[in-house]
Amino acid sequence: MTFQDTQPAALGNDEFADPFAQFRCDHPREVLGLMRDVRDSSTPVSLSSPAGGNLGATLWTIDSDRQRMAFDVEPNDPNLDALVECNEVTAVAYLDSVKLQFDMQDLVLVRSARATALQCRLPRRVYRFQRRSSYRVRTLDRSAPHAIFRHPGMPDMQLSLRMLDVSIGGCALLLPEDVPPVAMGLTIQSALIELDMATQFRTALRLQHASSASTRGTGQGLRLGCEFLQLDAGSERSLQRYIDQIQKRRRLLSLD
């Protein structure tokens, strides 16, 4: 599934038969956190309406008590008045490789001598889309997740392999040099993925390729490229949240 940059996906209107439900965030705290990330990072937001035309904006303020937020917009943009009159506006923004999409409702245009703001209600739900072939994050050494499964050639041997990097579609595992190699092309039917102390899920893993790996503190080994198969909605959400957290922590470390 792919989504054209800055263009909203066609989600449909049936909340109870939502084909994109697995990408939907509707917990108020989670929605508020995503909106704060957009605001704090000054992420550009593209606003569009069914009538056509789009408008660039940045999220300016969030009032969690009144459940309102305001976008800084260009006062002379020719599409501004049409968007407000339409009152059906979809917002799209990117946080790293994650595409956020949400509807803007109860629009109010506020003009002053110093700024023009487009106010709306805090969204009830936000959709998060991340391409399966997209961006991988390198895990943090001290808290790297693990994949736990039986060695496919030696069922009595349980493996707990550290993840070197991870994306929404797969991961790279470190197979230490003192562990017997595994055949490529096999599918591990039930691998336990431990992202952190509180987050675990089971999935099938397809072993796609192997290459030499040398990592600091672990010596030589093999890097196993794996694809996640049959991820359910809850597991995919957990994985997306983990990737988001790693991205945030790496951004903070780069500022130190």
Return the pLDDT at 147. Answer: 96
Q: For residues 23 and 239, is the Cβ–Cβ distance under 8 A?
A: no
| 124 shares its domain with 61 | yes
One domain for residues 118 and 97: yes
Choice among 9-23, 31-45, 89-103 with the minimum mean pLDDT: 9-23
**Same domain? 125 vs 232:** no
203 in any annotated domain: yes
**Domain end call among 129, 163, 185:** 129
Q: Are residues 115 and 165 in the same domain?
A: no
Say yes or no to pLDDT of 141 above 80.
no
* Pair 51, 158 in one domain: no
pLDDT tens digits, 26-38? 889 989 999 999 9
Per residue in 225-236, pLDDT (tens digit) is 899 998 888 888
CA distances 133 to 2, 32, 97, 170, Å, are 10, 28, 11, 9
pLDDT digits (tens, 9 = 90+) for 166-222: 888 889 899 998 998 888 888 999 999 998 888 899 999 999 887 777 655 445 788
Q: Is the pLDDT of residue 132 over 50?
A: no
Shared domain check, 214 and 153: yes
What is residue 21's predicted lDDT score, i.e. its pLDDT? 76
Cβ neighbours of residue 255 under 8 Å, at least 6 residues apart? none
Residue 6 resides in a domain: no
The CATH number for 207's domain is: 2.40.10.220
pLDDT-based confidence at residue 1 (cuts at 50, 70, 90)? very low
- Assign 134 a pLDDT band (cuts: 50, 70, 90): low
Question: Is this structure's pTM higher than 0.85?
Answer: no
Average pLDDT over residues 138-167: 87
Examine the pLDDT at 41 and tell me if it is beyond 90: no
Question: Residue 42: is its pLDDT beyond 80?
Answer: yes
Residues 143 and 99 in one domain: no
DSSP helix/strand/coil, 186: coil
Residue 36 CA to residue 42 CA, distance in Å, equals 10
43 and 116 within one domain? yes
Own/partner contacts of 5-11, CB < 8 Å, gap of 24 or more, are: 5/94, 6/46, 6/54, 6/92, 7/48, 7/92, 8/48, 8/90, 8/92, 8/101, 9/101, 9/127, 9/129, 11/101, 11/127
- What mean pLDDT is predicted for residues 152-175? 90
197 and 149 share one domain: yes
What is the overall mean pLDDT for the chain? 82
- Return the higher-pLDDT residue of 249 and 60: 60
Same domain, 101 and 149: no
Q: Which residue among 71, 95, 129 closes a domain?
A: 129
4 domain residue, yes or no: no
- Of the three residues 94, 129, 164, the one that is the final residue of a domain is 129
| In a shared domain, residues 144 and 250 | yes
Domain hosting residue 115, numbered range: 15-129
In this predicted structure, the answer to whether residue 25 has a pLDDT above a threshold of 70 is yes
Residue 5 has pLDDT above 50, yes or no: no
Number of structural domains, the chain?
A: 2
Distance of CA 13 to the CA centre of its chain: 23
* Confidence band of 8 (pLDDT split at 50, 70, 90): low
